[in-house]
Structure 1
Amino acid sequence: MPPGTPDTPPPVTAPPSLSVETPGRRIKPWHSLWLLLLLGWTVSAADRAVTGPVVTWMIDNGVGFLAEADRPYALGGLIGGLFFAGYMLTQFPGGYLGDRYGHRTLVVVSLVWAGIATVVTGFVGGLVAFIVVRVVTGLGEGAYYSNDRTIISEATPERHRSLGMGVVITGLALGITIAIIFTPHFTDFGKIWLSDVDAWRMAFWILGTATLLVAGAIAWRFRAHLSARVVGRATLHLAAYSVVSLALIMAIYLLGTEAGLSDLWIAVLEVVLAVGVVLFALARKGEELGPVLKNRSLFLIYLSYIAVLWNLWFFSFWSVSIVAGAADSSFANAALTAGFNAGAGILGFPVGGWLSDYAVRRGWGRKPMLLSFTGVQAVLTVVFAWYLSAAEKPSLLIMGLLLFTASLFFNALQPIGHALTADIAPPRLRGSAFGMQNLIGETGAVLSPAIGGVLRDHTGSWTAAVWLDAGIIVAGFFLLIGVRDAPGGGKAA
């Protein structure tokens, strides 16, 4: 951790009354908290997911910095991977800083940061400037996940913990769906005010403004937990990590490009950087963070989330191109069909959370349901890959149904895994545990857009990339077999 860390008061946690059920009240205090955090996920996810559809639009229309690229899909995938390199590198610091300064503080800092950076993206020109601003956006957004998960764990009764996590992270599906489906409309609207070449900028301006509005609403709700002094220190501390991370990410990109390394190898080196961050944390904070870094079950969950984040951002980034290429459809129709993949989370996330809590109440534990859902998702993804391989001209309807069904189980399993992490990790280190889970898992998000793009350029289709995705999901299933459920199956003591 950087030297000179300021002395700060212990993080402010939710008042005990928030996690105590009040008989006779249908609307509980934590329900409005869930709604606000859901909105935070929605705008944050839209900000990060919009890059994929915009890149696809640039390639299809031959504009921007992708117009002259020799391998446009590989370069577009690398852009997505570099964003997630930034997002990944502040996962663990974001959770650690949340444990120190207050998780509500870091949620507000993350959203304001992401909103400003997304708006700025719409003003930049040139490949390197675009990459820098996207990486900066990811660095700010990386602090949201670990702190939002921890706030829910603190403010929600344990019997509803997984449901709360599922309801809130539904915003991820909403945001990705908005980015995928509405980007064609954002660009059409941009053509009214801008040239056809610059119409893509409107998508970033609209979504960035929405993020700032949501950040203001959440800051108002959390105002009793915020102080200008602590917010300022937390922002500076996160900025210190971010400056170093940005320098390392861009150094790898620029030196790799200068040395003639392929886009794939540059993405791999970014993952090596993430491994270095984990080792650094072990060396500097090994004793303090031992309970979340050296716990076997937690570490297997962390590793299994490489498959989760690989699948999530492979399809979120490239699903429009996959559908359009397979069915030879228009950009708008492909976006609508691909939206089934993201839209399934609107149902899958809360249902998975509810089922997880139900399993705990029945004494079954969370692990059996997590394994079952992962297994079903693996099978359905294999079926989707086979259909792309076997069908002469895949149907938009069948692709939409397969994407929706596989994504339904995929999204349902995520709040189960989050709740299992919260059950196993010590309460005082939950922010750090969630940060490490996403830090390791995000290596999948860094690699999947880049490797998918390279395979598309090399083979001329998306079939090989989808088969690879299916294989990685199967590997994640086998990792989860070794996880031990929390004592008592996750039941409150």
Structure 2
Amino acid sequence: MAATVPEDRMTRAEMIAVGICIFINMLDGFDVLVISFAGPAITRAWNLTPPELGLLFSSGLAGMMIGSLFLAPLADRIGRRPVVLISLTLVSAGMLASSVSNGLYVLAATRVISGLGIGAMLAGLTATVAEYTPEARRALAVSLLQTAYPVGAIVGGMISAILIADFGWRSVFVVGGLLPALLIPVVWFALPESLAFLSSRQTPNSLARTNAARRRLGRAELAQLPPPPVSTGKQAGSVLALLTPEYKRRTLLITVTYVMVMMTLYFVLSWTPKIVVDAGLTEAKGISASVLVNIGGVVGASIFWILAVRFREVRTLRVYMLLCMAGLILFGLVDMHSAMLWVAAFIMGCFLHGTTIGLYTLLPRLYPAEVRSTGAGWAIGVGRLGAIFGPAIAGWLFSAGFGAGIVYALFALPVAFAFIAVSRIDDRPATAGEAAQSAQ
């Protein structure tokens, strides 16, 4: 089995590395949702129809899908650190290009570029944090990583409301492009390569690279590498490795779950500010509703980790999914001019974000180190199909005259399908040598 962090305690350098990953994911939360914050202002400036706005919402998600499927697996071939650097470069370039775009399709294309980087980074960061952290703290570390996503959306929403009011919608893309650029030198100097990745490669210079990384992380050097992982018969970084008998069932079930949950999540994140504005409230209140959804997500994710430690991820996910469906229906039914709007937004975000973050917490357990980033990239990448179609389908439904109550209720159905799929996942940790038994 490829070792992750064999010692029971993290070194200071490892804590810093995990902190960097958490901060990067917080920026991703802002970068992904910046289009929903700016959406009402762009709609007004360019006179967009709901399907055109849905295209803008979906374009970044399409880039995330491509990045997760085709760039994230590189982390199992060339390393976690290089992929994070490439991803930050793509995000920064795409966001800055968005700030100077002059039309719908140009803006959509620049959102695809940003999405490429975000999609690759989400998978790579999940694997990296899991591999920097001892088993006893892994669920907490991955939960903190994914909780940073809605935190970024909260902070980004507050900043966006001020920037859009004072400087226009383009300003939020400028800020979203400069921050990832500033992180590139931080990652270059302060984020060593994952020890689990280096151990899984077993190349002639792996021992030297491993010891160099261990020195940077404050670990003692090794006289020799641990035994290589049992081969799956497929090359690391190959999606085919996920479809071997050892991992096939897990791969199919977690992929279906991601598609369904992402469909609903990105409908809610993309359209909620616009729905509130269309109900007659101000753009600032539309952004505030989105912020409350994400605040609920932070609370829900924190409670999820506490429950998952005692009851395991799959059992906790099932409860969260049932409550998520109820929260969606509640939000669609409330009077948006009443105080219940804010309560419903918080409840919906608590269990919807909590469900999503729970999936990210579960994911590293399903694959060993040599295919972990590929497995994460596949599930997250194919899951983006749901993220792409969710906002677009909502645009068509609203254009056809369906009200918010019906649309939010309809988007509870994908969560029901996810509930069925996740209930059939065996969440015992997978290793190359043990997966055949644990996947049956």
Q: Fold conserved (TM > 0.5)?
A: yes
Which of 298, 304, 312 is 2:257 aligned to? Answer: 304
Distance 1:135 1:172 in 2: 19
Gaps of 5+ in 2: 195-233
Q: Which residue matches 2:318? A: 371
Which of 435, 448, 451 is 2:377 aligned to? Answer: 435
- Give the Å deviation of 1:354: 3.9
- 1:433–1:338 distance in 2 versus 1, CA, 3 Å: same
Distance 1:470 1:138 in 2: 26
Q: Which residue matches 1:74? A: 51
Distance 1:292 1:382 in 2: 39
- Give the Å deviation of 1:396: 4.4
Which of 252, 275, 279 is 1:322 aligned to? Answer: 275
Which of 156, 165, 170 is 1:201 aligned to? Answer: 170
- For the 8 Å contact 1:165–1:353, the answer to whether it is kept is no
Distance 1:54 1:465 in 2: 22
Distance 1:96 1:292 in 2: 20
- What aligned pairs does 1:398-413 form with structure 2 within 5 A after superposition? 398-413=340-355
Distance 1:365 1:352 in 2: 10
Which of 16, 19, 25 is 1:32 aligned to? Answer: 16
- For 1:216, give the aligned amino acid: P
Distance 1:431 1:106 in 2: 11
Distance 1:351 1:32 in 2: 24
Q: Which residue matches 2:410? A: 468
Q: Is the partner of 1:163 in helix, strand or coil?
A: helix
Q: Which residue matches 2:223? A: none
Q: Is the partner of 1:459 in helix, strand or coil?
A: coil
- For 1:376, give the aligned amino acid: L
Distance 2:172 2:266 in 1: 19
Q: Which residue matches 1:246? A: none
Q: Which residue matches 1:213? A: 182
Which of 324, 332, 335 is 2:287 aligned to? Answer: 335
Query: Per-residue CA shift, 1:17-75, capped at 9, x if unaligned?
Result: x55234xx8x855432232112101212211211122121222xx31xx32x4xx1111
Q: Which residue matches 1:161? A: 138
- For the 8 Å contact 2:18–2:132, the answer to whether it is kept is no
Distance 1:142 1:332 in 2: 29
Which of 387, 390, 393 is 1:448 aligned to? Answer: 390
How big is the alpha-carbon RMSD for the aligned residues of Structure 1 and Structure 2? Answer: 2.9
Which of 37, 57, 74 is 1:53 aligned to? Answer: 37
Which of 79, 97, 115 is 1:120 aligned to? Answer: 97
- 1:322–1:110 distance in 2 versus 1, CA, 3 Å: same
Q: Which residue matches 2:113? A: 136
- For 2:35, give the aligned amino acid: T
Q: Is the partner of 2:425 in helix, strand or coil?
A: coil
Q: Which residue matches 1:9? A: none
- Give the Å deviation of 1:460: 6.1
Q: Which residue matches 2:87? A: 110
- For the 8 Å contact 1:292–1:298, the answer to whether it is kept is no
- Give the Å deviation of 1:295: 1.9
1:21 aligns with 2:8: yes
- For the 8 Å contact 1:166–1:351, the answer to whether it is kept is no
Distance 1:444 1:20 in 2: 39
1:417 aligns with 2:404: no
- TM-score normalised according to structure 1 size: 0.73
Gaps of 5+ in 1: 1-12, 191-198, 226-280
- For the 8 Å contact 2:267–2:391, the answer to whether it is kept is yes
> Could you list the runs of 4 or more consecutive aligned residues of structure 1 that deviate by over 6 angstroms after TM superposition?
none
Query: Per-residue CA shift, 1:117-143, capped at 9, x if unaligned?
Result: 201211121222212111111112211
- For 2:18, give the aligned amino acid: W
- For the 8 Å contact 1:337–1:396, the answer to whether it is kept is no
- TM-score normalised according to structure 2 size: 0.81
Query: Per-residue CA shift, 1:347-400, capped at 9, x if unaligned?
Result: 3334323432x22xxxx4332111111112122222223x24xxxx43442121
Query: Per-residue CA shift, 1:184-221, capped at 9, x if unaligned?
Result: 3112231xxxxxxxx21111111211221233322221
Q: Which residue matches 2:301? A: 349
Give the fraction of aligned pairs with identical amino acids, expressed as a percent.
Answer: 19
- Give the Å deviation of 1:415: 3.7
Q: Is the partner of 2:339 in helix, strand or coil?
A: helix
How many positions carry a matched residue from both structures? 392
Name whichever structure is richer in helix by fraction: 1
Q: Is the partner of 1:394 in helix, strand or coil?
A: coil
- 1:202–1:487 distance in 2 versus 1, CA, 3 Å: closer
- Give the Å deviation of 1:164: 0.6
- For the 8 Å contact 2:367–2:429, the answer to whether it is kept is no
Distance 1:170 1:223 in 2: 23
- For 2:122, give the aligned amino acid: Y
